[in-house]
Amino acid sequence: MKITKFYIDNARYKAIDDSGGIIWIDINYWENNFELSEPNKRLENLAKELLERKHKVNFVNKLLK
């Protein structure tokens, strides 16, 4: 069997601030949306950037290296 397509569907990232507070970033790459557990403009911008780079991108070539 040859793998021809490999996508990121959902991902969860954990950000910890200097006081130990945790902010979860849940990204649905397939549906092109995200949610933060707490408001944070810097993390919102990061999530948008990640979606721009990975939304429905076929990673099969990276998988097979």
Tokens of 42: 């810097």
Q: Model pTM?
A: 0.81
Tokens of 4: 């021809």
Domain range spanning residue 18? 10-63
pLDDT (tens digit per residue) in 2-49: 888 888 899 999 999 999 999 999 999 999 999 999 999 999 999 999
Residue 32 lies in a domain: yes
Residue 20 lies in a domain: yes
Q: Which amino acid is at 22?
A: I
24/65 Cα distance (integer angstroms): 31
Residue 50: enclosing H or E segment and its boundaries? helix 41-54
Residue 17 lies in a domain: yes
| Domain total of the chain | 1
| Backbone torsion region of residue 20, taken as left when φ is above 0, otherwise alpha when ψ lies between -120 and 50, otherwise beta | left
